[in-house]
């Protein structure tokens, strides 16, 4: 039985695994492709903006970074009379 996909292409994630990947780039990764998995733990291709290659990660090694809600800024033009 395979596990259900938890992430979608374009999601921002972070590694939550132990020291297995101490040499990885710090910060946020983005899901760029889904990868067929031979195990119950789904796999993804992920990319960091700090590296020139993609990595393979198991779903159990990743945690979703919720999108930040950016407050809308209203621009008002100043009138000079």
Query: For residue 4, what are the β-bridge partners?
Result: none
- For the chain, what are the domain ranges? 12-64
Q: CA–CA separation, 33 vs 56, rounded Å? A: 9
pLDDT at position 21 is: 54
**Parts of the chain with a pLDDT under 70:** 1-3, 18-22, 69-81
pLDDT at position 69 is: 57
pLDDT at position 33 is: 95
pLDDT at position 4 is: 83
Q: pTM of whole model > 0.95?
A: no
pLDDT at position 27 is: 86
């Amino acid at each position: 039985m395979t596990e259900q996909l938890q992430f979608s292409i374009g999601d921002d994630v972070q590694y939550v695994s132990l020291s297995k990947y101490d040499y990885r780039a710090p910060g946020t990764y983005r899901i760029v492709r889904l990868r067929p998995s031979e195990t119950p733990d789904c796999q993804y291709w992920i990319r960091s903006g700090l590296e020139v290659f993609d990595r393979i990660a198991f779903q159990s090694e990743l945690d979703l970074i919720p999108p930040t809600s950016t407050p809308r800024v209203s621009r008002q033009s100043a009138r000079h009379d």
